[in-house]
Amino acid sequence: MPECLGTSKCEYAPRMVTLQDGRVVCSNCHLWAMECEAKRLLTYSLPERREGLVEREKIRGKTASEMLKEFIARIHEDRRQKAKKIIGGEYEN
């Protein structure tokens, strides 16, 4: 079994998962949970997303909120690059 980069509970995890950046972690890993949360927030409208980030910052603190924003930005950029390849040209925002 691959070693999880985020937790030592791999042997109890239902499965191993691959993060957007290619790292393999167990499904109990906080990094996997954060990536799932970031993907969920990306389904919200921009005002709802901003509100959600403010609420999460109140609950978890600024560091956790900034980490979540980084996940969102990475996922968004990855999706943007994939779309750019699909349409074969410059992708306008």
Confidence of residue 8 (pLDDT cuts 50, 70, 90): low
Cβ neighbours of 4 (radius 10 Å): 22
pLDDT single digits (tens) 51-68: 999 999 999 999 999 999
Sign of the Cα torsion 12, 14, 15, 20 reads negative
- Residue 91, pLDDT > 70, answer no
pLDDT single digits (tens) 16-53: 889 988 888 888 888 899 999 999 999 999 999 999 99
Q: Which residue has the higher pLDDT, 10 or 14?
A: 14
- The pair of structure tokens assigned to 1 is 């079994």
Which residue ranges make up each domain of the chain? 30-87
Q: Which residue has the higher pLDDT, 86 or 72?
A: 72
